[in-house]
Amino acid sequence: MRGGIYTREKCPVCGRNYKDNGRNGLQCPNHPKHWAARNFQVRFLGIHREFRLYEKASRFLNGLRYEVDADKFDERDYQEKKQPLAFENLADTWLKIKYQDGIKKSSLKNVKCHIHRAVDYWGAQNIKAISAFEIQAYILTLSDLSSKSQHNHMSTLRQFWRWVTSMDDMLDMPKFPHIRVKLGWRKTISKDLQQEILSEIKNIAPYKTWLGVKFLATYFNVRPGELLAITENDIELDMERIWIRETKEGEAKYLYLLEEDVALLRKLPAVINSKIPFFRHGGGVSGVQKGAAYGEKYLYKWWKRAASNLGIHDVDLYGGTRHSTVQHLRDEGFSPEELRMASGHTTSRSFTRYFGRSPDYLRRIYAGKTRNKSVTDFDAARKRNTLK
């Protein structure tokens, strides 16, 4: 049979090694009255493990033999020093691979946060022992997070497990529980109020700050982080477009500029063949090095300051620009399909938060107006009532 139980002890009479009798202990072959009392070692296909009691050593050895017979034996499960299947070791390797793959900095930051929290929970636990029940128990520890954040954590873990199982045929993909995401709503504002805030930003903030917020309010297919990541080289005025390299979807895209915005950009000093950030600080800003890129929250801070100057305190940058612009264009008559295509959304559920329903459309239904009654007629009647 494979493997055996051994000891460093020797017979005190003849000095020979003790032998396993296969039943209840290790004895001297020549002097059966002498038994090994401690320091039992199991040696099995490169595995060495020590036990104080013979019974525990015997159970361990029999377990290994059973795994071999059932074709379930994996030597890595018993490599205590290297622990190649420890969750924390595999997670560390995966993060290094993600970094080498050139994942976007903001995405890598989130992935690290998700994985490090899971490492704090599972540590050196063998990944084979982490079942669907274990994953469900882990989700319960994320109760301090929103449903969207919990969903993001699970998405990261799914990616990690797909990588692990793709690299090793002996590992199985566990079943991940479904997390129902409750999407939030942002407060929006009218186009006129949006323009008032933009005018205030132009009065109090650096020129490029106003330009950045103006672009967010106009081109609703770009996010603040994506816009702030552009360099001077990414602006192609001859083609009237801006190349957005870093996107949430991982695929580059173009921002096709209006003539008025091309004219605004042409007023700036030309910088040729430069990879420096377009949105960077000028001189005279306390605590900020000249030429340093705008921080992640820089446009948001100026938006909130300008809005506060106007007495508006409950509308953030995202809601006041991207969401508000989409809803304004909806009221101008653009269809959901047109706006979703222009926004770059791939799922209708996500876009619904932006588009919503036209208040006038809903009022017409509440008033019992039929579809034959034009919206224009209804709007005119509503305006007359308002004037009265």
H-assigned helices in the chain: 54-69, 87-100, 105-122, 132-140, 147-167, 191-204, 207-218, 224-228, 259-266, 298-309, 317-318, 324-331, 336-343, 348-355, 359-366, 375-387
Region for 58 from its dihedrals, namely left if φ exceeds 0, alpha if ψ lies in -120 to 50, beta otherwise: alpha
Whole-number Å distance between alpha carbons of 192 and 354: 18
Q: How does pLDDT run along the chain (388 residues), one tens digit per residue? A: 678 888 888 888 888 889 888 888 889 988 988 888 877 888 887 777 778 788 888 888 888 887 788 777 776 666 655 567 788 889 988 998 888 877 777 788 889 999 999 988 888 788 888 889 999 999 999 988 888 889 999 999 999 999 999 887 777 888 988 888 776 667 888 899 999 999 999 999 999 999 999 999 999 888 898 999 999 999 999 999 999 988 877 778 888 999 999 999 999 988 877 889 999 998 766 677 888 899 989 999 999 999 999 999 889 998 889 888 888 887 777 776 777 777 665 555 555 555 555 555 555 655 666 554 444 444 554 444 444 3
For residue 206, give every residue at least 6 positions away whose Cβ sits within 8 Å of its Cβ, in sequence order, or none. 281, 282
For 115-119, the CB contacts below 8 A with 24+ separation are 115/91, 115/156, 115/157, 115/160, 117/142, 117/153, 118/87, 118/91, 118/153, 118/157, 119/87, 119/88, 119/91
Give the distance from CA 85 to its chain's centroid: 24
pLDDT per position as a tens digit, 99-131: 887 777 778 888 999 999 998 888 878 888 888
Whole-number Å distance between alpha carbons of 179 and 176: 9
- What average pLDDT does the chain have? 82
pTM above 0.75, yes or no: no
Whole-number Å distance between alpha carbons of 233 and 277: 9
Of the candidates 305, 294, 342, 296, which has an alpha carbon nearest to the alpha carbon of residue 322? Answer: 342
Alpha-carbon distances, residue 339 vs 36, 311, 331 (angstroms): 81, 30, 11
Per DSSP, 208 falls in state H
Other C-beta atoms closer than 10 Å to the C-beta of 156 total: 21
Other C-beta atoms closer than 10 Å to the C-beta of 342 total: 15
Per DSSP, 285 falls in state -
Per DSSP, 53 falls in state S
